[in-house]
Amino acid sequence: MVFTKMEENKTYFGELGHGIKTLAVGMKTTWKEYFKDFFTNKSTEQYPENRKTTLHVSARHRGRLAFKRDENGAYKCTACTLCEKACPNGTIKITSHMAEEPETGKKKKVLDDYQYDLGDCMFCQLCTNACNFDAIEFTNDFENAVFDRSKLVLHLDKEQYQGGSLPNLLDGGAEWQVGKFNTKTK
């Protein structure tokens, strides 16, 4: 058995007193948690009821993969396939072809299709870490349930992702506050 030095130095009654003292501290802590703002001091949310009012989903929560786009809707993906190679599940399939740029005359890869299978994804974030061009990101858009498996196969370059089924979800939704959740509003 391993004893810490502190415990070894205690006498029988010293240990007893110490034990009672620390137990009392624990009881006091839970007592406070129980009675402090008895009806509102809750850190859980009642999800479907509050989804359009007080729902908070942290902005860094990984809901699904999306292309980062600028104001013109242009994406930065260069079809380098680093994300495809980084993906442990084979979730990402990139097809591309070589084409000559009209201005410079250099040959360059052009993205044909960026296929992302949400159903296979395990949300490990290795793809966004691998990306050298800051082209993809995980958004906290989490309401991804669909009725057909094929609808989970997304083509990120072709879709016009508007972000989230809920109002200002991508910014994290409502402010996160313990005890202020209105559990009754739809």
**Chain residues that interact with another protein, rule: CB under 8 A:** 1, 12, 16, 23, 26-27, 29-31, 33-34, 38, 41-44, 46, 178, 183
The least CB distance from residue 23 to another protein, in Å, is 7
Q: What is the nearest approach in angstroms of another protein to the Cβ of residue 108? A: 55
Q: Which residues contact 145 (CB under 8 A, 6 or more apart)?
A: none
- Nearest approach, Cβ of residue 176 and another protein (Å): 14
> Closest approach of Cβ 27 to another protein, in Å?
6
We find the least distance from the C-beta atom of residue 24 to another protein, in angstroms, to be 10
Q: Residue 75 or 176: which CB sits closer to another protein?
A: 176
Contacts 24+ apart (CB under 8 A), 21-29: none
Question: Would you say 44 or 150 has its CB closer to another protein?
Answer: 44
Reference 138, options 57, 54, 73; nearest CA is 57
Nearer to another protein, 38 or 147 (CB): 38
Nearer to another protein, 30 or 150 (CB): 30
Q: Which residues pair with 115 in a beta bridge?
A: 93, 155
**Who contacts 53 (Cβ-Cβ below 8 Å, separation ≥6)?**
174, 182, 185, 186
**Residue that the structure tokens 């509003």 belong to:** 185
Tell me the DSSP string of 109-159.
EEEEEEEEETTT-----HHHHH-SS--EEEE-------SSGGGGEEETTTS
Is the CB of 16 or the CB of 110 nearer to another protein? 16
